[in-house]
Amino acid sequence: MKDVNLISLVDAHSDVESELFKEYLNYYSINFKIEEIEDVKVLITILKNLTQQTILFDKYFVGYSIPQIAKEFDLLRFGQYIVNIELKSIGDLEKIKKQLLRNKYYLSFLNKELYCFTFTSKTKKLFTLDQNDNLIEISYVYLIEILLNQNVENIEDIDRFFNPSNYLVSPFNSTDQFIQGKFFLTVHQERIKNEVLKILDSNTAILLSIKGKAGTGKTLLTYDIAKEVTARQKRVLIIHCGRLNFGHMTLIDKYNWNIISAKFIISTDLLQYDLIVVDEAQRIYPSQLTYIVNKIKTFAGKCIFSYDGQQCLRNWEITNRMDEQIELVISEKSFELTTRIRSNKEIADFINCFFDKKKPIEKRNYPNIEINYFNNYTDAKSFLNYKRLDKWKIINYTPSTRDKLPYEMHKIINEIDNAHTVIGQEYDQVIAVVDEYFYYKAGKLSTKNYGVKPYYHPTKMLFQIVTRTRIKLGIVIVNNKEILQHCLSILSKDRS
């Protein structure tokens, strides 16, 4: 996206024919409604009447949207501080305040002083937030002073300032921040939340599902709905189909949430709860699913199944296809999150190509992917311990309950987390180990015969591990030239 001069934008809109103006907007990657351009015109006219300083109108990013989360800003200008101006024809004051607070939150990750304004073209009023986040009306003289004193920067790639993963708060890794509401949902998440809450107001039995792949914000959305229902003085029970993590225990002990592991379903009185949330529902047993559904239907209860069909760790979970069974029993529509937020597109593309050779390889840079090769477990393990001290998260494969398997050769003893304990969590930098037992079968990543049948599925555990990352992903390859070759074929695209 290119920055543009606002006077040039308005003049082009006024003078050139429609098709040519579309080309003009495409050149600057501007996706703006005509009414918003009219709002810009009104603002420019007001400012021109107060000052002849043309520098005020230069170097604006118009209609910029943060990749992956669709958060849009009308006008952005970068310098030693950031100026954001939102445009409205006429605005509800509460909505203006809410938008300014949201913009302030998203821009705060740039670690610069912020000046956020809203201009209403019909009333010709200018608003901002004071130091206590109260909405106040201000003079145009103040805005002009801010714009004149800004040492405007030349920005070649605005996307590099915005990391989408910054905006996905984890209820488990940022529990206090989550409880305090110091986050915002994407437009898509918010739309689903509002629709789900409306459905839950019904007096009939409700069975609905929220599904989404790793990194789409499914857990945040699900737990935020539970938080909202709790705030309405309703009793909520979360059934987690896996091991409870530290974040779960914090929610239980510090904030009095009702969370149980799925193994306690039968011994829990489900009838005392207004809403039951089944998290990681793809791992639930068929008998447990049947039990919950019968209870909900019999007593007109409410239940949300939250799941990702790809996040299975045992062979029976894969063969049972609980995601399909859940969709057969829901009484309402199924909601799906489709945009990955937690990991950037670079990492998501790499993971897709890594697990499936048939996926087309994107021609891009992969600066956040690290590949290291070792021909023995001893050197690999030594490297892992070194990287662990450098704040990388090393996630072990979950040990088998019956046999000692080869992947335990590179287990980090001091690292308690494994593929099971990190479900639903996220980390800035994650390293996964791929040893000689992995190979490609018909283009899909698979695992060779260990001599015994693993209790947990190694390839599914690897997928769980790599999808926990937010910013960087490291792959440590042990004695496996096939995997190394394919990784390099993905990464070498940036050198072609």
- Position 63 in a domain: yes
CATH assignment at residue 201: 3.40.50.300
- Position 271 in a domain: yes
- Position 236 in a domain: yes
Is 280 in the same domain as 353? no
How many CA within 13 A on the CB side of residue 249? 5
Question: What is the token pair recorded at 94?
Answer: 């509460």
Q: What pLDDT score does 494 carry?
A: 46
CATH assignment at residue 148: 3.90.1570
Q: What pLDDT score does 35 carry?
A: 86
| Inter-CA distances, 108 with 76, 162, 183, Å | 13, 10, 12
CATH assignment at residue 396: 3.40.50
- Position 387 in a domain: yes
Listed as own residue / partner, the contacts of 226-234 with beta carbons closer than 8 Å and 24 or more positions apart are: 226/257, 226/275, 226/277, 227/178, 227/179, 228/193, 228/197, 229/197, 229/200, 229/274, 229/275, 230/257, 234/274, 234/275
Is 420 in the same domain as 472? yes
Report d(CA 413, CA 419) in Å as an integer: 15
Is 349 in the same domain as 214? no
Q: What pLDDT score does 496 carry?
A: 43
Is 202 in the same domain as 333? yes
**Owning domain of residue 472:** 345-495
Is 50 in the same domain as 154? yes
Is 190 in the same domain as 132? no
Report d(CA 147, CA 115) in Å as an integer: 10
Q: What pLDDT score does 341 carry?
A: 67
* Domain end point (choices 161, 189, 204): 161
Which residues sit opposite 476 in a β-bridge?
372, 433
- Position 170 in a domain: no
- Position 166 in a domain: no
Residue 477 makes CB contacts below 8 A (sequence gap 6+) with 371, 372, 373, 374, 434, 435, 483, 484, 487
Whole-structure pTM value: 0.75
- Position 168 in a domain: no
Angle, vertex CA 273, rays to CA 268 and CA 277, nearest 5: 85
Per-residue pLDDT tens listing for the chain (496 residues): 999 999 999 999 989 888 899 999 999 999 888 889 999 999 999 999 998 888 999 999 999 998 877 789 999 999 999 999 999 988 789 999 999 999 999 999 999 999 999 999 999 999 999 999 999 999 999 999 999 999 999 998 898 888 777 777 889 988 999 999 888 888 889 999 999 999 999 889 999 999 988 878 899 999 999 999 999 999 999 999 988 999 999 999 999 999 999 999 999 999 999 999 999 999 899 999 999 999 999 988 999 999 988 776 666 666 778 888 999 998 887 899 877 666 677 888 899 999 999 988 877 788 899 999 999 999 999 999 999 888 899 998 888 766 677 777 777 777 778 888 888 888 889 999 999 999 999 999 998 877 677 778 888 899 999 998 988 999 999 999 999 999 999 998 544 4
Say whether 407 sits in a helix, a strand or coil. Answer: helix
Q: What pLDDT score does 410 carry?
A: 76
Is 394 in the same domain as 418? yes
Which residues sit opposite 431 in a β-bridge?
394, 474
| Inter-CA distances, 212 with 158, 177, 207, 323, 424, Å | 28, 23, 17, 11, 12
Is 187 in the same domain as 154? no
* Domain end point (choices 293, 311, 337): 337
Say whether 92 sits in a helix, a strand or coil. Answer: coil
- Express the helix, strand and coil content of the chain in percent, nearest 5 each: 40, 20, 35
Q: What pLDDT score does 107 carry?
A: 95
How many domains is the chain built from?
Answer: 3
Is 10 in the same domain as 88? yes
Is 188 in the same domain as 331? yes
Is 119 in the same domain as 136? yes
- Position 400 in a domain: yes
Q: What pLDDT score does 311 carry?
A: 77
* Domain end point (choices 337, 368, 398): 337
Q: What pLDDT score does 221 carry?
A: 95
Is 92 in the same domain as 131? yes
